Every structure is written in C-alpha cells, then in structure tokens.
Chains A and B, each alone.
Chain A
Amino acid sequence: MSRIITRRRFLIGATMTASALGLSGCDALVESDRTKSVLKIAESFSMKTQRFLLGDDALAREFTEADLSPVFRANGTSMPDNPQYLDWMNRQFSTWKLEIGGLVEKPMQLSLAELKALPARTQITRHDCVEGWSAIGKWTGVPLGALLKTVGLKPEARYIVFHCADEYEKSLDGSGWYYESIDLVDAFHPQTILAHTMNGRDLEVAHGAPLRLRVERQLGYKQAKYLTRIEAVADLGRLYGGSGGFWEDRGYEWYAGI
C-alpha cells in the first residue's frame, strides 16, 4: 500500500485538475488511468493517517440496546442462489463448515455448533454503508484473533481473505463471487469477530447466515456475509480481480475506514 508522491506525480495531478475545470468532458478525465492512480494517493494518505492516530486497538463506539435500529436494512445479496448454499440452508447449516487455511500452521474446519461453543464477544455497533446510511445492530461471535492464534499464522501471512457463498455478479470466470480481505492489524483487533448471532437470534439469511465478518472500524462492504473459507495470504494480487475484495475490484477503496 505504500506510495510516494513524487513531484512529477503531483504536477500531473495538478495539471489534470486544472484541465478538468476547463473542459466540459470531465468524464474522460475521471476515466483516465493516470487520474485514477493519482487519486489513489488519497487512500494511502487516509489509511496511514488513521492508523497512526488509531494505534492498533482503538475501539469503535459501542451502543446500548436502546440505540438499536428498529429495522436493520439488509444489503447486497439477500438470498444466495447457489445449490450448495441452498442445501446448507435447508439443513439449518448443520452440514456447513468454515474452512481456515492458506498460510497457517494447522488448517482446520469448524462446524457452526463448534463455532458457537467457542468463547464469544457481543457488541452493539453501527454498520455504515458506503452509500451513506447507517444501522445499529447487536452482534455475537468468535473473535477472529483467537481463531488465528489457534491455527497459527505462518510468518509470511500478511492478509486474511474471506471467501463467501454468494456470487454477487454472475460471470463465466468466477470473478463475481463476493470476497473481502483485511490486514493483520484489523484481523487481531478485539472487535473483529465472526458473528453467528445478530440481535440475540441466529443470523438471518438476509444478513449473511450462518456466519459473517464484523470489522467495526470500516464500512459495510468489508463486513463479508455467507462465509465459507478464511485464507491467510502474503499478497492479494492473485485473488479474483487482484484488489482484495469484490467492491475493491470495482473501484472502491481497499481501506474502507473513511
């Protein structure tokens, strides 16, 4: 994620911006790859600044039961249509398993019952969609950090990738499957949990049953639903579109803290 603003890069940015105001064809400028690479400077600036100010463990605001949204809007896929998922669902997810693998010492599989038996954390937090709306919900789940300590990360692991059971955009090459990734700072953050319970009930299908990620210091698209597999990797370039997430592959920031 490191990127240095060279004078050249800055001048390119300044010139392009100046021309943006003069031209009516702003859209061509928006679509230029050079513009995009200059604008990306802001993402790494935001991430570095926030991480510097945050430290690793600053907590997201936790609310009370009185603050819960009366209706928590479901977003993205609300019912995965792949046969494997439907089969799990019809069996109340008793045959579903979460796989943890990649760059780990002891890969493992956990059933929903096993996950629910593990020590859990409950938190009432705000979910912020990138579109602008927010909803407050109560989440209970297993701290991701504890699971990662159990399986043991290999030294070269830098990111944790979440593979999901919903193909959000139908495609022939499989590039439309939902996935997400976070780095180890967020993976070991105390509020980063794999939630199986929402507002005191089993997670509903519309909200990602049987298991979804909560990364409370980032936007909604990071909160991957319908988890099937967690993979520790050294870099994100080889997965799907290469940008570390379904929406990231479609232009959104990988660091979604802003």
Chain B
Amino acid sequence: MATIDAGAVTGRTVIYRHSLLVRLSHWVNVLCMTVLLFSGLQIFNAHPALYWGQYGADNDPSFISMEAVEDGDKAKGLTHVGSLTFNTTGFLGLSEVDGEATARGFPDWLTIPSYQDLASGRRWHFFFAWLFVINGFIYLAYGLLSRHFRRDLLPAGNELTPAHISHEIVNHARLRFPKGPEARHYNTLQKLTYVAVIFLLLPLMILTGLTMSPGFNAVAPWLLDVFGGRQSARTIHFLTAFSLVAFVMVHVAMVILSGVFNNLRSMITGWYAIEQEGKQ
C-alpha cells in the first residue's frame, strides 16, 4: 500500500451525484406522496368501491369493493375483486378503531386523519396535491434546462438491447450492484424505472385526479374520453397509486441493499462514494 492515490488506498472515490434542486424536490416529493397516499385512502374510504365508465354508484357493478357484513353475532370484512371474495377482517372492510370493530375500507393506521373524516381528508389531499404539482413543475423545468433528464435518465441506444437488459436483470436479481465507473451513472433498469415513474405514473396520477373534478371536466372534457369516464379515472387513480407504492417499496429495498448510508448521504448532501472494482 505504498501508493499516494487516496482513491487507490481506500478503494473509493467520492462524486457529487445529486444537485441541490434534485435533492430538495426528492424530499418534497416524499412528503407530498406520503400525505397524498394516506389522505387518498381516507377519501377512498368514503365510498370503498371502484367502477368503470362514466357513472358508478351502489347499484352499479363494481370490480373492487370492500364491505363489512354480519357473520353470526359478529361482523367480518370482505374485499371483492371481480368475482372473487376475500375475508380481510381486521384489515380491509372491517377493522378496529379504538378497540371497536368498525366498518371502513382501509384501517385507521393508513388514513389521515385516522378516524372517518372525508372533509379533512380532502383538504389535506388537495393542499399537498398543489404542492406536489408545483414541485413537479419546478423539477421538470430544471430537468430539461440543466439537461439532467438527457444526461442522467435517458437510456443510451446500446443500453436498450435485450442482451444488456437481461444481463442487468440477472445482476439485480443476484444483488450485484455496479462498481467503479459503471456506478457513476444510473444503470438501465434504474433509468427505465425513473422515466416510467416521472413521465408516466406521476402525470397519470395528476390527470386522473383532475378528471374526477367536475369543474375541470368543463375545462378539459377530452380527459373524460381519454380515460373512459370519471369512474374509470377514479379507478386508474387508485391502481396507479398502488403502482407507486410498489415502486417505493422496491426503491427503498434497493436503497437499503445497495448501501443505505451512502445512498441517503447522496440524496441529502449530494456526495456519493464509489467502490473501485476488485476491492471491497
């Protein structure tokens, strides 16, 4: 170990990975998406059933719904998905609020506020929806102007070959994360995932949300045609929200598995350490 290269001594190089604006907008987004999810479930609980088409209410067929039904001298919570019915007592349809079994879609630990209060749920949802949209526009403008999207997120042509992608999938599955020069950039799976979340799922949340607004329907009636009606838009809003939940779960798992301290530091301070290849 007689070399003077610090990188070679420690086997690591520290790079500035995330700009201040990316870090700020990331954490504002974490806050917004958290509140939007839990206040959204509060709103869902006011009518825990999803339909397809322009209209949908109690007498129309729903393809996902939750309810509490009598079961002898007790009650049970049922969740219907298409023609299937699941007993989800304690979690969906029926759960305990202050020790008492209560009919509600999602349980109190998943809603803001915890008790049934649609008016407050809506106020929280719309406040953080505005914050989310403003934050998103600032991020988009920055991403375009600073070439962040082009430089960091747009996959190169050779990254999109089946051979390259399948190679990355195998590495991911074995939890072998890139080291050395390769770790300076997002890998292709990351790029594709982030592009899908930023340019597909999040805009879909906003547009389906707006399609549920009777006022916005008069502004942009074409959105009703795009999504097939207000009730379809509500259903897509719900399903997309859970796609985002799935994304966040994988995202957080990857953050933990590929070095939680390094990853968190890079999203807080911007600095990210890269291990040299062949060293630990």
Contacts and interface: CB of A to CB of B under 8 A. Distances in A.
- Tell whether A pairs with B: yes
B219 interface: yes
Contact of B123 (A18, A43, A53): A43
A43 to B, nearest CB: 7
A250 interface: yes
B115 A132 contact: no
Given A42-B123, A128-B230, A251-B119, A135 B57 contact: yes
Task: List the 9 closest A-B pairs by CB distance, nearest first.
Answer: A257-B215, A251-B119, A133-B57, A71-B59, A132-B47, A42-B127, A131-B46, A131-B47, A30-B113
Interface stretch (A62-70, A100-108, A170-178, A204-212): A62-70
A67 B127 contact: no
A41 B123 CA distance: 9
Contacts of B44: 132
Indicate the member of B47, B118, B218 with the most A CB atoms within 10 Å: B218
Contacts of A30: 112-113, 117, 120, 124
A12 interface: no
B221 interface: yes
Given A30-B120, A130-B122, 14 more contacts: A30-B113, A31-B113, A41-B127, A43-B123, A70-B60, A71-B59, A73-B58, A126-B230, A131-B46, A133-B58, A134-B231, A218-B214, A251-B117, A258-B126
B214 A27 contact: no
A26 B114 contact: yes
Q: How large is the interface on B (under 10, 10 to 19, 20 to 34, 35 or more residues)?
A: 35 or more
A61 B224 contact: yes
B113 A129 contact: no
A136 B115 contact: no
Contact of B214 (A17, A18, A126, A131): A126
A250 B119 contact: yes
14 contacts: A17-B31, A30-B113, A69-B57, A71-B57, A132-B44, A132-B47, A133-B49, A133-B58, A133-B231, A134-B54, A134-B56, A251-B117, A251-B123, A252-B118
Interface of B: 31, 34-35, 43-44, 46-47, 49, 51, 54-60, 112-115, 117-120, 122-124, 126-127, 129-130, 212-219, 221, 224, 230-231, 234
A215 to B, nearest CB: 9
Contact of B118 (A42, A59, A130): A130
A17 B219 contact: no
Interface of A: 13, 17-18, 20-21, 26-27, 30-31, 36, 38-43, 45-46, 50, 53-54, 58-61, 63, 67, 69-71, 73, 126, 128-136, 216-219, 247, 250-253, 256-258
Nearest to A215: B214
B24 to A, nearest CB: 12
Nearest to B121: A30
A129 B47 contact: yes
B118 A131 contact: yes
B133 to A, nearest CB: 10
A50 B46 contact: no
A132 B234 contact: yes
Contact of A54 (B47, B112, B218): B218
A53 B126 contact: no
Most chain-A CB neighbours within 10 Å: which of B115, B217, B221? B217
A257 B214 contact: yes
Contacts of A217: 214-215, 217-218
Contacts of A67: 54-55
Contact of B218 (A31, A60, A252, A253): A60
Contacts of A256: 214
B42 to A, nearest CB: 10
A60 B46 contact: no
A60 to B, nearest CB: 5
Contacts of B49: 133
Given A58-B218, A131-B47, A134-B230, A258 B213 contact: yes
B79 to A, nearest CB: 17
B127 A50 contact: no
Name the residue in B119, B123, B130, B230 with the highest tally of chain A Cβ atoms < 10 Å from its Cβ. B123
A217 B217 CA distance: 8
Contacts of B212: 128, 132
Most buried by A among B118, B215, B216, B231: B215
A199 B13 CA distance: 73
Given A21-B34, A27-B114, A129-B47, A218 B56 contact: no
B69 to A, nearest CB: 20
A246 to B, nearest CB: 12
Contacts of B119: 247, 250-252
B219 A53 contact: yes
Nearest to B225: A61
Contacts of A134: 54-57, 230-231
Contacts of B51: 133
A135 B174 CA distance: 51
